[in-house]
């Protein structure tokens, strides 16, 4: 009988994975997955709807805001998305990674991609068959966690059988694949984080625009306007000291450095103080008329005064942050190196 035969087969796989797992084509494995998933999916939808309605009644009785019908529909939609779309996509990706590592990298697998896909499908269906238990508070999560462990064991046994390797080798390849994917993902996330910090994904910054902050400072979202001749950038400091008054300047590449160590540029006064950890977006005259498509590069400097003198970064020079402070001697420091494409 349709659906029931697949459930019986999966229960047999759960009890006797070493003998019940068999090779299928990718298409047949997907048919098996969807047929088996139908009854658990419908059961999950019914239980979630009933549980949501019951919980709403209890919350209303207690004078609390009940779950809205839109919230219940959202949960039902997520269940459908998980079972019908996300899980099958995960099967393809997981099988491809294992086949690439076990077959192409380590040359250990003897079978083909569809064999790996079959083993992973059987393992995944262990959780799908009982996904409805998650509706049961507390004990449902415990049961599903146990099924997750057993699903992993079925995957090891299935890979070993389908690819004609020992179970220890299958275990090592599965764990190794997870480690490799984890390392690659870490580098990917780290790279994205670096690009975000440089402002590469800002909607007003071109990919070629970057701002690399010095230690203890923040700099991102550099943008040079061809029309105004100004460089707009977000800066900040985390030196541990609040700046009572401060000025900022852009020094184009090749600027003359004075004997004090500060570039020979004009510092533009900023209104108010800048606390440690704070950020502010500023617009600086760049002193150049760069055509659209070209870029301007240089360094960003600040000149500031602090009453405590603690946590000071930079040298002591003759620059005036102004802002009414009238300090003839203030601290200055390079906070970033910037390259901005003209727009």
Q: Which residue has the tokens 């919350």?
A: 59
Where are the domains positioned within the chain? 4-195, 210-341
DSSP string, 26-42: HHHHHHHHHHHHHHHHH
Give the span between the Cα atoms of 243 and 237, in whole angstroms: 9
> What is the Cα–Cα distance from 155 to 161, expressed in whole angstroms?
10
- Cα distances from 165 to residues 101, 113, 281, in angstroms, run 14, 15, 60
Q: Cα–Cα distance between 19 and 321 in angstroms, integer?
A: 79
Q: Residue 254: its pLDDT value, please?
A: 79
CATH topology of domain 210-341: Immunoglobulin-like (2.60.40)
Measured in whole angstroms, the distance separating CA 64 from the mean position of its chain's CA atoms is 35
| End-to-end CA gap in the chain | 66
Cα three-residue angle 38-34-86, rounded to 5 degrees: 100
pLDDT in tens, the chain (343 residues): 678 999 999 999 999 999 999 999 999 999 999 999 999 999 999 999 898 888 777 766 666 666 677 888 888 999 999 999 999 999 999 999 999 999 999 999 999 999 999 999 999 999 999 999 999 888 999 999 999 999 999 999 999 999 999 999 999 999 999 999 889 888 888 877 766 655 555 544 445 678 889 988 999 888 888 888 888 899 999 888 888 888 888 888 877 776 566 777 778 878 778 888 889 898 888 766 777 778 888 899 888 877 766 555 666 555 655 444 444 457 788 889 998 888 7
| Paired residues of 305 in beta bridges | 245
**DSSP secondary structure of 171-204:** HHHHHHHHHHHHHHHHHHHHHHHHHHHTTTT-TT
pTM summary value: 0.60
Structure-derived torsion over alpha carbons of residues 305, 309, 311, 316, reported in degrees to the nearest 10: 60
Residue 218 CB partners (closer than 8 Å, separation 6+): 234, 235, 236, 237, 238, 279
């Amino acid at each position: 009988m349709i659906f029931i035969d697949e459930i019986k087969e999966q229960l047999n796989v759960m009890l006797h994975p070493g003998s019940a797992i068999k090779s299928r084509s990718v298409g047949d494995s997907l048919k098996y997955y969807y047929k088996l998933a139908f009854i658990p999916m419908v059961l999950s939808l019914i239980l979630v709807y009933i549980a949501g309605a019951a919980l709403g009644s209890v919350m209303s009785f207690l004078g609390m805001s009940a779950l809205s019908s839109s919230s219940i529909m959202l949960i039902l939609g997520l269940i459908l998305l998980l079972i019908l779309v996300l899980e099958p996509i995960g099967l393809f990706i997981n099988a491809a990674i294992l086949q690439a590592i076990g077959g192409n990298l380590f040359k250990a697998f003897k079978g083909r991609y569809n064999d790996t896909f079959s083993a992973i499908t059987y393992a995944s269906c262990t959780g799908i068959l009982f996904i409805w238990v998650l509706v049961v508070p507390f004990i449902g999560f415990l049961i599903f966690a146990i099924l997750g462990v057993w699903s992993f064991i079925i995957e090891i046994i299935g890979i070993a059988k389908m690819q004609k390797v020992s179970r220890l080798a299958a275990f090592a390849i599965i764990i190794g694949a997870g480690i490799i994917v984890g390392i690659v993902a870490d580098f990917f996330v780290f790279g994205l984080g670096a690009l975000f910090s440089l402002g590469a994904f800002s909607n007003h910054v071109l990919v070629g625009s970057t701002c690399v902050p010095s230690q203890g400072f923040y700099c991102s979202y550099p943008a040079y306007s061809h029309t105004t001749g100004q460089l707009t950038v977000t800066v900040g400091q985390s030196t541990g000291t609040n700046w009572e008054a401060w000025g900022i300047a852009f020094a184009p590449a090749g600027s003359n450095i004075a004997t004090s160590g500060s570039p020979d540029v004009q510092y533009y006064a900023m209104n108010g103080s800048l606390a440690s950890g704070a950020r502010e977006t500023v617009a600086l005259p760049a002193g150049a008329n760069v055509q659209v498509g070209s870029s301007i590069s240089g360094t960003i400097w600040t000149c500031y005064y602090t009453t405590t003198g603690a946590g000071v970064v930079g040298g002591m020079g003759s620059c005036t942050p102004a802002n009414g402070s009238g300090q003839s001697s203030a601290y200055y420091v390079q906070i970033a190196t910037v390259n901005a494409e003209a727009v």
